[in-house]
Structure 1
Amino acid sequence: MGFPDPSLLLVAAFGVFIIAFMKGAFGGGLAIIGIPVLSVVMDPITAGALLAPLFILMDVAALYYWRPKTWSRIDLLLLLPSLACGTAIGFLLMKIIDRSAIAVLIALITLAFTALWFRGGGKVVQQPRSKIKAVLAGTASGITSMMAHSGGPPVAMYLLPLGLPKAVYAGTTSSFFAAGNLMKAVPWLMLAQPTSELWTLMALCLPFIPLGVWAGFQLHERLDQKQLYRVCYGLLIVTSLKLLWDGLRGYGVI
């Protein structure tokens, strides 16, 4: 069994810590924040294989804090069936669709969405639920999560305008992506077929999961409702710019 290079282990552990931190602070859907760290030392497919099992363990750790009392069941009932459908579609499209186009499209839509929110004064308001929006968001999240570990923007665009309490928002996204990560773990492992060295790297990254989730939860506790929503919208901008960068780089523009 090969032992990972120390520099590889250091970068991978930091990337896992960042993703776990985001789960503890803001719920699920922000894995793409930590993926640029991993891309320094491994290609996207290898990073996907590394993260697929670790996501499940991160979700278990995060759900220790985001228990069922923090879940918006009415929204999960609307979102989860379409998430499963989107994950299946994403798996089927992995080898035939241009992932760069998906990345650019999701990035531009999300940037427009966040720009409108900030232009409106960044207020936490409560808009009515829409079954159609929930189905579209769940499906898009499943597709982009499967294809690029970037399922956060579509579901955030559905949930944030509902003005949910900060713990309910975090708990709902955590449970939503816990289900999604279970759905996509086996397909990702089938696609990537991890080596023994990669399995060893996964094992060595395990201690950074509870540490990252705990640290993130401490930040969540210190933010009030308005601050948390501002940070979430700000992080949407960061994730969108990262998606846009990846998409344009795929076309050789940058």
Structure 2
Amino acid sequence: MEADATFYAVAIAAVLIAAVSKGGFGGGAGFAAAPLLALVVEPAQAVGLMLPLLMVMDVTGLRNYWRQWSWTDARRLMTGMVAGVLAGALFFRSVSADGIRLLVGGVALGFVAFHIARTRGWLRPSQAFGSAGWGVFWGAVAGFTSFVSHAGGPPASMYLLRADLDKTRYQATTVITFWWVNLIKFPFYLMLGMFTLQSARVNLILAPVAVLGVLLGIWAHRLVPAVHFFRLTYFLLAVTGSKLVFDALT
């Protein structure tokens, strides 16, 4: 990893995108950070480099949203995430970077299509979609995609956005669930050798950017009305999903 001016220009942009998204917009654009970093370093290095920074963002946002989450929904997702992280650790070395990009992008675009079909009355999901089983299932998917590319946001959204949560309760629930998944990912990343002394130095340099980005996201969260917040979330999912699919196929 060559930490030159080009690297830091891309890294600062990637960290800001992830931090602002995690601080105020449910992480909808946060998973674009790792693919963006992968433009200047190897994908595995990009994923490993982002995890400590994501953990800094989690701690920064956790205090602001403390106990404002939906614990029932968070608990279901967090339970499933354990199995998803274990699966991600087992398959991380055997799945290509493009395969992961295609999977994550497809999930994001699939969710946008689901939302459009539901709002236009083409699809009417039953009450079973909000059951505990669905929460654990999407938690497992989120745990897997979060492990391989920090892309747990879209699967978690597929479960959380089906509920009538206000924007703050929704945001708080994503903060606690992704604090948890990043915490349990850390020892597996360590065993896989995804952290280096050089990446630790870079993390120290970029940590203030992560904190600033979360604070900016919290500020924006308080100003943006709920309807605009959810529209922005769907838009970010569509853009990032399209970008990942395009990158995988080209």
Shift of 1:200: 1.1
Distance 2:73 2:168 in 1: 14
Q: Does 1:47 align with 2:26?
A: no
Which position in structure 2 is the counterpart of 1:85? 83
Structure 1 stretches of at least 4 aligned residues deviating more than 4 Å after TM superposition: 119-123, 125-128
Determine the structure 2 residue equivalent to 1:236.
237
Task: Give yes or no for contact 1:153–1:236 (8 Å, CA) kept in 2.
Answer: yes
Quote the residue 2:211 is aligned against: 210
The offset of 1:228, in angstroms, is 0.8
Q: Give the corresponding residue for 1:221.
A: 222
Secondary structure of 1:162 counterpart: coil
The worse-fitting range, judged by mean Cα deviation, of 175-184 and 214-223 is 214-223
Conservation of the 8 A alpha-carbon contact between 2:19 and 2:213: yes
**What displacement does 1:106 show?**
4.2
Q: How many residues align?
A: 246
User: Percent same amino acid at aligned positions?
Assistant: 33
The 2-side partners of 1:239 and 1:5 are apart by 26
Partner of 1:37: 36
C-alpha displacement at 1:76, in angstroms?
1.4
In 2 relative to 1, CA 126–230 (structure 1 residues): closer, same or farther, beyond 3 Å?
Answer: farther
Query: Who is 2:116 aligned against?
Result: 118
Q: Provide the aligned C-alpha RMSD in A.
A: 2.5
8 Å Cα contact 1:22-1:216 kept in structure 2: yes
Which structure 1 residue ranges, 5 or more long, are not aligned? 249-253
Mapping for residues 51-130 of structure 1, pairs under 5 Å? 51-68=50-67, 70-98=68-96, 100-121=98-119, 128=127, 129-130=130-131
The residue identity in structure 2 corresponding to 1:82 is G
Give the letter aligned to residue 83 of structure 1: M
Could you tell me whether the CA contact under 8 Å between 2:104 and 2:151 is conserved in 1?
no
* Equivalent residues of 2:22, 2:217 under 8 A apart: yes
Gaps of at least 5 residues in structure 2 are: none
Is the 8 Å Cα contact of residues 87 and 143 (structure 1) preserved in structure 2?
A: yes
Q: Is the 1:134–1:158 contact (alpha carbons within 8 Å) kept by the matching residues of 2? A: yes
Check the 8 A contact 1:20/1:213 in 2, yes or no.
yes
Query: What does residue 16 of structure 1 align with?
Result: 15
Tell me, what secondary structure is at the counterpart of 2:192? helix
1:52, CA displacement in angstroms?
Answer: 1.4
Deviation at 1:141, TM superposition (A): 0.6
In 1, Cα distance between equivalents of 2:126 and 2:225: 20
1:143 corresponds to which residue? 144
Using the size of structure 2 for normalisation, the TM-score is 0.88
